Structure 1
Amino acid sequence: MSDTIKDATLEYAIRLGDDANVLGHRISEWVSRGPFLEEDIAYANVALDYIGRARMFYGYAAEIANDGRTEDDFAYMRDDRQYHNLLLMEMPKEDFAYSQVRQLFIDIYYSLLLPELVESKDDTLAAIAAKAIKETRYHLRRSRDWVLRLGDGTEESHRRTQRAVDSLWGYTHEMFEMDDIEQLVVDNGIGVDTTRLRDEWHRRVSEILTEATLSVPEDGWAVRGGRIGYHTENLGHLLTEMQFVHRSYPGCQW
């Protein structure tokens, strides 16, 4: 593996880890705040799935870098501009409908991306994807059921769910855009060409939203920048909370 491809694979693994880490923390914010006990437990399990996924990607990044950094360094010792997660992952949890709509968008995205990543020439990335696919099937079943219940529920739940769809739609375009780094890993059979996933993602999302009596937004606006370190103010607040203990006691281990 040339140094150029190695560096691109390192960045690709970090990006996938950042996506999972930030989303996992966001989901964990619902623990003890769920609408009922079963959802509290479900949120905790989903959050742990994503944190576990982040650990695998960060662990592989540390292996590639081979410079003394560990998964904790990637998670806790970088500032917001050094994080390269999709902006959709860092949006605040807001109300229950907002979180479930965001989860639906992401679950359908992963249900398309992970089967492609399983075919990667990189055995480690393929293995991580194979494990994550099983989790994603459960996540998607849950988020789909909730969006259907909320969208086709009461007048209030419908209003809140439609507002969430409209508020989050512009952040979804970034999932299907690639820069030179991602194009390089795709060209070398390592990464996934996400541009090819857009149409099927849109079809599946539209089908569920329509069944839930919700309107599919027009593509009138789009926000991007997460992959190159340009984030909303939400990520800084998230990292302040997530990294507090580790930065207060550097090097401390359980």
Structure 2
Amino acid sequence: MTEENKVNGETEQPTSVKADPKKQESPKPEDQLAEKLPPEQAAEKAAPKADAPVVTPAAAKPVVEKPAKADAPAVEEKPDPKKEEAERTLEHFRAKIVGKFGEEVLEESLLAKYQPTYVIKREYWRNVVEYLRYDNSLLFDYPEVMAGTDYPDKGYIEVVLYLYSMKHGYFITVKTRTPRENAEVPSLTPIYNGVNWEEREIYDLLGVKFTDHPDLRRIMMPEDYEDYPLRKDFSVWKE
């Protein structure tokens, strides 16, 4: 205000300041919506809502256990024709051996993978094998293989012989057992000359002496070797 205006008693009018459009507050979306709604709806929209009711979740349904299924009826196993045939063969030759020598000659008879197998007491070993070799109803003329196995936990060595009858087509296994200490079995070379080297091999590697063998000596190890490499307690580090 100038001095002249003060003297004349004039008052200065305040100058209006224009609002900055950038700083002007934008209307809220709900206010814009209310402007477009009819008056009664706008009033209803603007009125504060009452507290929403609390919805309690429904109680969980009780779990009902299903009754256990009844056990299915056991399925009857079908007989194995191969096993049945093997059992008949086992009993057939067992009856032959027992009928000739009596029950005391056999320690046991069993099927080993369908193979009829007879464990013959050592003192009857040669006699029973000779009978199997020459009896016309048997004629086990081909000794397929002969071998030995050590069973230290049972205290014996087992000699096994696989026999085949080329005339009748029979195939059986015969075994005998000897104590590990002073192991000794009657030789079968008088019956099957072809087991000569096999008995020597069992003697060489397991220490089983075959009585009446025509040439019982080591076949692989040196003659002065004092151990038996196929015995389970054998060790190259043993003093």
After TM superposition, is the score higher than 0.5? no
Q: Normalising to structure 2: TM-score of the pair?
A: 0.26
Structure number with greater CO (CA < 8 Å, separation at least 6) is 1
Q: Normalising to structure 1: TM-score of the pair?
A: 0.25
Larger Rg: 2
Question: Higher strand fraction: Structure 1 or Structure 2?
Answer: 2
